[in-house]
Amino acid sequence: MNAQREATLLASVNDGLYIGGQWRAASDGATLEVQNPATGAVIRTVASASVDDGLAALTAADEAFPAWAATPARERAEILRRAFDLLMERADDVALLMTLEMGKPLAEARGEVAYGGEFLRWFSEQTAHVSGRYGANPENSGRMIVTQHPVGPCYLITPWNFPLAMATRKIAPALAAGCTVVIKPAALTPLTTTYFVQLLEEAGLPAGVVNVVTTELPGPMSEAIIADPRLRKLSFTGSTPVGQQLLTQAARGVLRTSMELGGNAPFVVFDDADLDKAVDGAMLAKFRNIGQACTAANRLLVHADVVEEFTDRLTDRVKNLVMGPGTEPGVAIGPLIDERAVAKTDELVQDAVTHGATVRTGGAPAGGAGFFYPATVLADVQAGSALLTEEIFGPVAAIVPFADEDEAVALANATEYGLVSYVFTESLARGQRMIERLETGMMGLNVGAVSNAAAPFGGWKMSGLGREGGDEGIHEYLQTKYTLTANPFQE
Ligand code: NAD
């Protein structure tokens, strides 16, 4: 029964590229295979775009742009709203598809459908609210008019870890602003994006407004698209090294860019924290998405007076996490995305142990079919361990004790990243000091998750540029024009 439902669902996802409203094979016939990380089995083979296909998609976006930009905001809003309704109707299918290609537990996939869908609803509400300004200049010699305009065709690149939400977080504000797009999902997880674009088509989106080019060779195709003067904006979510490379390419055309890059979140537990809240928060901030989130708590910094109790309580909770395929009920720890991710996670754990950390639970690959690594707690992680400076991207909680507030702040800020931090304290003044002292674009104060479509998501330092969501999100896709006219009373 389940196998049949999965097969029917997978078969309902188009295996082509979506360019100018047409589904088509790659121009050179190339394909790529999508694996289920829980089994290693190939679940679907889809087209893999060439450089020519990428440029054809940009042509389609460029040709569709004038009409889409001129479409009344209300109509654009209604398409986004219909897409939201369709997504909610098909939430179970989208969640299952995501679990099959990415591995996250079904309940979390359902959560991502809710979160990802909110960007459609939020930006459908923002669409008709883009406004300008009109007023006298200070000299009263003229009238100043400030208007907002869509930037033009955009290229959107998304990662595999949140295959739906990272796509809607870019597509929704772009369409709301009147931009057209070419989207390149990660080759590991193209099915969710393709299925979502089928929903956009069903919602009445005109041809060419959204184009999808999945490819196994993202480098050459992206470089050609970014070098093309018709492109006006690049929005990327992924690792910092790839983001840096793309920024260099984008500099040639002085493109508008938004960059949502890597993180190394500190999770700080003070001695005045409510430990129930702190342990709940750590479970969420560390083990959601099997630790494969840019917002994942990478370093758990815990005051020396409470570190033993915190570690014991966290370890008890972690030992109870069920590992297995995300489609099975009760599973909290699904597989990692691929074999490389398992090897990388284990390398970081062994390096921390060599530097003096103690394994409280987990600590070695699960072996067998699929790409599983058990939830792991490492106590007493020592300075110099690679996992303190690198993104772990796996279910490994690394605990570091600290002595006082100044040391906590110094440790928390000792990274080139600055996406998010988490702070647990019952002191209002200390919480307020942390808001001002921690160098991150976002903070969870006594909570272990911060994402919300209504919030400006984004990082400081090498975690990125720009914001997605909130009132800020749509402005990433708008450009400002200022016009001066004469004072109409002085003609
Ligand atoms: P990645 O950088 O390897 O890939 C991201 C995307 O870029 C994929 O679509 C990939 O195909 C594409 N890509 C890779 N090389 C490219 C190239 N040379 N030219 C053009 N495109 C290229 O990252 P990943 O492993 O897919 O995702 C994990 C990373 O993403 C982590 O660092 C994580 O922190 C980050 N991330 C950040 C956020 C955020 O909002 N800040 C959200 C999710 C993930």
* Count of the separate structural domains present in the chain: 2
Q: Which two three-digit tokens encode residue 166?
A: 């990272």
- C-alpha–C-alpha distance, residues 184 and 211, integer Å: 9
- Same domain, residue pair 271 and 316: yes
Contacts 24+ apart (CB under 8 A), 359-362: 360/311, 360/315, 360/318, 361/315, 361/318, 361/319, 362/318, 362/395, 362/396
The beta-carbon contacts of 38-41 under 8 Å, at least 24 apart in sequence, are 38/103, 38/324, 38/325, 38/326, 38/327, 38/334, 38/335, 38/370, 38/371, 39/325, 39/369, 39/370, 40/369, 40/370, 40/371
Q: How much is the pLDDT for 491?
A: 73
Q: Is there a single domain that holds both residue 163 and residue 301?
A: no
- Regarding whether 145 and 13 lie in a shared domain, the answer is yes
Sign of CA dihedral 58, 63, 65, 71: negative
Distance CA 253, CA 248 (A): 10
Task: Tell me how far the alpha carbon of residue 239 lies from the centroid of ligand 1, in angstroms.
Answer: 4
Q: Kindly state whether residues 269 and 254 are assigned to the same domain.
A: no
List residues bridging with 44 in a β-sheet.
Answer: 34
Please say whether the beta carbons of 427 and 327 come within 8 A. Answer: no
- Do 42 and 186 lie in one domain? The reply is yes
Do 278 and 211 share a structural domain? no
Divide the 491 residues of the chain into consecutive groups of 10 and give the mean pLDDT of each group.
91 98 98 98 98 98 98 98 98 98 98 98 96 96 98 98 98 98 98 98 98 98 98 98 98 98 98 98 98 98 98 98 97 98 98 98 95 98 97 98 98 98 98 98 98 98 98 97 97 73
385 CA from centroid of ligand 1 (Å): 24
Q: Among all residues, which ones are annotated catalytic?
A: 260, 294
Report which protein residue has its CA nearest ligand 1's atom 43.
Answer: 294
Same-domain check for residues 176 and 215 = yes
Residue nearest atom 21 in ligand 1 by C-alpha distance: 218
Residues in contact with ligand 1 (CB, 6 Å cut-off): 157-162, 166, 184, 186-187, 218-219, 222, 237-239, 242, 245-246, 260-263, 294, 391, 419, 459, 463-464
Atom of ligand 1 nearest to the CA of 245: 18
Residues 219 and 354 in one domain: no
**Candidates 112, 160, 161, 288: which one to mutate for ligand 1, based on the most atoms within 8 Å of Cβ?**
161
Q: Report how far residue 81's alpha carbon sits from residue 353's, in angstroms, rounded to the nearest whole number.
A: 51
Q: Which two tokens stand for residue 217?
A: 């060779």
122 in a domain, yes or no? yes
Q: Are residues 294 and 239 in the same domain?
A: no
Q: Is residue 375 part of a domain?
A: yes
Mutational pocket test of ligand 1: of 51, 104, 239, 462, the residue with most ligand atoms within 8 Å of the beta carbon: 239
C-alpha of residue 177 to centroid of ligand 1, in Å: 24
Residue 187 CA: nearest ligand 1 atom is: 11
CA–centroid distance, residue 170 to ligand 1 (Å): 14
pTM of the full structure: 0.97
The CATH number given to whatever domain includes residue 271 is 3.40.309.10
Which atom of ligand 1 is least distant from the CA of 157? 9
* Among 13, 32, 3, 108, CA closest to 335: 108
245 shares a domain with 333: no
Q: Exposure string (b/e) for 375-395, b if CB count within 10 Å is 16 or more? A: bbbbbbbeeebebbebbbbbb
Is 244 a member of any domain?
A: yes
If one residue of 101, 102, 115, 157 were mutated to test the ligand 1 pocket, choosing by the most ligand atoms within 8 A of its CB, it would be 157
The burial class, CB within 10 Å (0-12 / 13-18 / 19+), for 135 is exposed
Distance CA(193)–CA(439), nearest Å, equals 33
My answer on whether 297 and 256 are in the same domain is: no
CA 260 / ligand 1 centre spacing (Å): 9
Closest atom of ligand 1 relative to the 186 alpha carbon: 9
Cα(173)–Cα(350) distance, rounded to whole angstroms? 43
Q: Is residue 229 part of a domain?
A: yes
Closest C-alpha among 305, 269, 261, 272 to residue 286: 269
Q: Ligand 1: which residue has its CA nearest to atom 4?
A: 238
Full DSSP string of 8-52? HHHHTS--SEEETTEEE--TT--EEEEE-TTT--EEEEEE---HH
Using CA atoms, how far residue 72 sits from 333, 393, 412, in Å, is 45, 43, 47
What is the model's pLDDT at position 55? 98
Name the residue range of residue 249's domain: 3-261+464-480
- C-alpha 84 – ligand 1 centre gap (Å): 25
